[in-house]
Amino acid sequence: MKLSDKEFKAMQMGWRKWYIEHVELTTFRRLGLQVKDKDVLEVGCGNGFAASLIMKQEPRSYTGMDIMTEQLALARKHGLHNARFIEGSADNLEAFEDESLDVILDFCILHHVEGWRKFFDECHRVLRKGGCVYVADLSKKCIHIVDKLFHWEHSEDALFTFDEFEREANQRGFVTMDKVIDFGLEGYFRFMKTEKKSKIRLEKDTVMETLVMPLYGRAVCSRKYPNVFKDESAEEAVGKIDYDFNLLQFSEPTIMVWAMRRQMMCERAREYLKEHPKATIVNIGAGCEENFSLVDNGLCRFINLDLPEVIKAREMLVPLREREKNVAMSAFDMKWLDEVESKREDGLFVMSGGVLMYFHEEEIKPLFLALAERFPDGRICFDAENKKGVEKSNAVVRKSGNKQALVVLAVDDAEKMFKPWSSRFKTIVTYNDLPHSVKKEKKIPFSTKMMLWMAFKLGYMKLVEISFE
């Protein structure tokens, strides 16, 4: 559908260029937009306002598409080198070959496209693996208000609610990586292309649903802050799961905790490998985490330990690397220790993120004692929370609708709590500092950094590392 004369004139005014630059494009960047050295398509490019800004970011190629020839004529007047403008509709991208684009942009034009559902099918076809669609658009409610005020006459068949819009995108092979919705009127979305087949279905109130929360958090952080939290395995895994990620409405500090936990634990493992290069690293409750790539020194071995049903799902999501294996067994069944192939003197480093806090002291104590007895030069590193942190974590879990996976282990003073367990516990160290990489990352909002820093200092989150002798 073409713009009405009244709307066409309004779109040529200076306010529209200002809004694209300072609101829409700025929000896209907050959602993770990067176009440098990428092949970019802007649907409904209009008079080229956005194109002139995008080309400054040095994409490998830029194509602007619009159904109105008069808009294309205005866009070409910008004289943008290496930018091309073609006639066409967002629901028909036949001008592009399969898997030929990296980024597709919509600056508030899909509410003009009656075939907006087909738009997602076309995007899925032309985007490369991991490619993204960035959408800024208006809800049906907003358009009704606009039409009443300005008489711009939009087609009812092209309008949508944001819930409907997101659901259609998800059903057509896209996962929602991030979104911002202002008062239910204007919405910004980042959708990432995933495979349409071989998805693993998750049921509510299950162990696997609990594992999805940190996986999704790491994927979001990977796309949003790749300089700090790049995790391609999480991004790919999220795309293979049949689950309504819209249920996971967590704050940014909450999802960053999951990404930081992985980063911090792998850093501790790398430190251990400096002294024990042939050690075996064990990830208890590995879930869908891919940590081996962050610690591999070319000599160590890696074991992903989790329950049989979780390992079964993991094997569909995360491929194994050389010197790595999955062990389908409870961490409290000490038979898994027989799976450690390296020599006793080579060492053992056990990491466990988001697991032990769900068990009582009497349940985890036998595990710790067995590790200390069998690997006297080994270590275990796990995350913990004090009593107040436990209360906050359980509030987050309840928000997801899962009332089964509640935290029960509160660690206020790790030394006081664990030292009496065994004379083989050589040192007990607590790490409660915000990682330097997070502190220096300029893209992370200062308010988020302050909240995370406070959480560490107040004991809401910490790492505890116990060394054996």
The SS3 call for residue 99 is: coil
Alpha carbon 323 to its chain's center: 27
Check: CB of residue 394 under 8 Å from CB of residue 406: yes
Check: CB of residue 382 under 8 Å from CB of residue 356: yes
Q: Find tokens 């049906």 and name the residue.
A: 140
The answer on 14 and 137 residing in a single domain is yes
Instruction: Give 143-162 pLDDT, tens digit per residue.
Output: 999 889 988 888 888 899 99
Q: How far is 46 from 58, CA to CA, in rounded Å?
A: 20
- Quick one: the chain helix, strand, coil %, rounded to 5? 45, 20, 35
Q: Based on the number of CB atoms within 10 Å of its own CB, is 102 exposed (0-12), middle (13-18) or buried (19 or more)?
A: buried
The answer on 336 and 447 residing in a single domain is yes
Number of structural domains the chain divides into: 2
Low-confidence ranges of the chain (pLDDT < 50): none
The answer on 141 and 290 residing in a single domain is no
Check: CB of residue 44 under 8 Å from CB of residue 112: yes
Asked whether residue 69 is domain-assigned, the answer is yes
The answer on 70 and 182 residing in a single domain is yes
Q: Which helix (H) or strand (E) holds 257?
A: helix 252-275
Domain that holds residue 462: 252-468
The answer on 189 and 256 residing in a single domain is no
Q: How far is 400 from 396, CA to CA, in rounded Å?
A: 7
Q: How far is 39 from 315, CA to CA, in rounded Å?
A: 33
Check: CB of residue 278 under 8 Å from CB of residue 342: yes
Q: Find tokens 């050295």 and name the residue.
A: 37
Asked whether residue 296 is domain-assigned, the answer is yes
Residue 7 is predicted with a pLDDT of 86
Asked whether residue 414 is domain-assigned, the answer is yes
Q: What is the CATH number of the domain that holds 382?
A: 3.40.50.150
Residue 270 is predicted with a pLDDT of 97
Round to the nearest angstrom and report the end-to-end CA distance of the chain.
74
Check: CB of residue 110 under 8 Å from CB of residue 138: no
Task: Give, as one character, the DSSP assignment of residue 335.
Answer: G
Q: How far is CA 451 from CA 44, 225, 256, 448, in A?
A: 39, 17, 11, 5
Residue 402 is predicted with a pLDDT of 62
Residue 318 is predicted with a pLDDT of 84
Asked whether residue 453 is domain-assigned, the answer is yes
The answer on 283 and 135 residing in a single domain is no
Asked whether residue 238 is domain-assigned, the answer is no
The answer on 183 and 321 residing in a single domain is no
Asked whether residue 206 is domain-assigned, the answer is no
The answer on 124 and 9 residing in a single domain is yes
Asked whether residue 229 is domain-assigned, the answer is no
pTM of the model: 0.62
The answer on 167 and 33 residing in a single domain is yes
Residue 43 is predicted with a pLDDT of 97
Q: Which two tokens stand for residue 372?
A: 């200390």
Check: CB of residue 89 under 8 Å from CB of residue 110: no
Q: How far is 28 from 30, CA to CA, in rounded Å?
A: 5
Asked whether residue 464 is domain-assigned, the answer is yes
Q: Which two tokens stand for residue 250?
A: 């967590």
Check: CB of residue 199 under 8 Å from CB of residue 240: yes
The answer on 386 and 262 residing in a single domain is yes
Q: Which two tokens stand for residue 462?
A: 């910490």
Strand arrangement of the beta sheet that strand 39-43 belongs to: 83-87, 61-66, 39-43, 101-107, 127-138, 186-193, 174-182
Dump the DSSP string for 382-433. Answer: EEE--HHHHHHHHHHHHHTT--S-------S-HHHHHGGG-TTEEEEEEE-S
Check: CB of residue 75 under 8 Å from CB of residue 47: yes
Q: How far is 154 from 4, CA to CA, in rounded Å?
A: 8
- H helices present in 186-251, as ranges: 207-224, 226-229, 232-239
The answer on 401 and 275 residing in a single domain is yes
Among candidate residues 234, 293, 236, the one with its CA nearest the CA of residue 258: 234
Reported in sequence order, the residue ranges of 67-202 that DSSP labels E, i.e. its strands, are: 83-87, 101-107, 127-138, 174-182, 186-193, 200-201
Residue 403 is predicted with a pLDDT of 63
Residue 56 is predicted with a pLDDT of 95
Q: How far is 308 from 119, CA to CA, in rounded Å?
A: 40
The answer on 430 and 292 residing in a single domain is yes
Neighbours of 106 (CB within 10 A): 24
